[in-house]
Amino acid sequence: MAPPRYVLHLETPVDAPGSEEFPVRGWIASEEPIHAVAAGEGTNRWLHLADRPDVRQAWPTLSHVAGFSGMAARDALRGDRLVLLCRIGDEQIVVGHELNPSVLPPPHLQVRQVGGDWGKNFFVSGGEMFDQIAAAAAEFGKPLGDAERILDFGCGCGRVLKSFARFPHRGEVWGSDIDPEAIAWNRGNLGDVALFDCNATVPPLAFPDAFFDFIFSVSVFTHLPEEMQLAWVAELRRVLKPGGMLIASLHGERYWSADPGVKAEVVAKGYAYRTGPVTAGLPEFYMSAFHSEAYIRAKWSEYFEVLAVKPAYIHGVHDAAILRRG
């Protein structure tokens, strides 16, 4: 049998990506020179080419080898196929790679986490938030890729946490939530991404002291009454290593300024809590909480060093409190 003219292998992504942009990595071995590889057909997203000695050793009959890497956008996808445009010799070759489809949480679990059935945008939006958290972590000297243990506190169905599947990191990832059905879904569908634990509505967590060196929490402290949230702030400090970082999303001025009554209370006290209809599957106390930056700096500084409060940073709506344990 004649050897193949070329062999192409895609290393990343393996499954359908959950963000608008995502990393692509792989290699080509060919009989003819490899001039370029692009993510998508008819695109200018040309990927970086580099030598791959490991591939040369594996394919000695093919004289030209190139590894490729870079970022792709969702327009490089055709359903669950990633399209690559390769310039090999005198030809342009379009190659489609099948990706494992993203399995979405059932609608009622999405409703519990985000208030509606967001369909494919459920993980897309989570990927955008993940990238914002990762950028803030790097900005303040705690790159996510270097963390030994990471916790997504209040992970729901892994909307944000799932992005670790496409993010290079060396550490162990955990997700924790009060919803046993969501945790069961995660274990069945995201067990290759993280470990999961179902926690009670009040502390403690099932982790030893100083277990994590990075914790993030999206849309949890936006819903808790004051006494409960301060108990959880103290508990997250307990399970975080000295020097570790916590990033928590908050309902900041973008939210509380829209309601005169809430605004007046936040301006006077720094915090407000409002009740309303209960979402099926969530506890009655899980309502709406609002914070001022001054409140976070005054109250939460009893537990953490407040590095920054970034207004409307998470997904363009939630403030992000960036904290470090001393």
Q: What are the pLDDT tens digits along the chain (326 aa)?
A: 455 688 998 888 877 776 678 889 999 999 999 999 999 986 668 999 999 998 888 888 899 999 999 999 888 988 778 999 999 999 999 998 888 777 899 999 999 999 999 987 888 889 889 989 999 999 999 999 899 999 999 999 999 999 888 787 889 999 999 999 999 999 999 998 999 999 999 999 999 999 999 999 999 999 999 999 999 999 999 999 999 999 999 999 999 999 999 999 999 999 999 999 999 999 999 999 999 999 999 999 999 999 999 999 999 999 999 999 99
CA distances from 281 to 98, 222, 243, 256, 259 (A): 36, 17, 36, 26, 27
For the chain, count helices (H), then strands (E): 8, 17
Long-range CB contact pairs, 198-206, < 8 A, 24+: 201/228, 201/283, 201/285, 202/228, 202/231, 203/231, 203/232, 203/234, 203/235, 203/238, 204/235, 204/238, 205/176, 205/235, 205/239
Instruction: Give backbone dihedrals phi and psi of 140, rounded to 5 degrees, phi first.
Output: -105, 25
* DSSP structural state of residue 165: G
CA atoms within 13 A on the CB side of 168: 5
pTM higher than 0.85 for the full model?
A: no
The angle subtended at Cα 307 by Cα 301 and Cα 310, nearest 5°, is 110
Q: Provide the terminal-to-terminal Cα distance of the chain, rounded to the nearest Å.
A: 65
Going through 220-302 in order, the beta strands assigned E by DSSP cover 240-250, 271-274, 288-291
Distance CA 239, CA 97 (A): 42
Q: Which two tokens stand for residue 61?
A: 């009959």
Instruction: Give backbone dihedrals phi and psi of 210, rounded to 5 degrees, phi first.
Output: 55, 40
Given a contact cutoff of 8 angstroms between Cβ atoms, the answer to whether 182 and 161 are in contact is no
Residue 139 host element (H or E):
helix 121-139
Q: Which of 30, 96, 91, 93 is nearest to 66 (CA)?
A: 30
For the chain, list the domains and their CATH numbers.
6-98 (2.60.40), 107-324 (3.40.50.150)
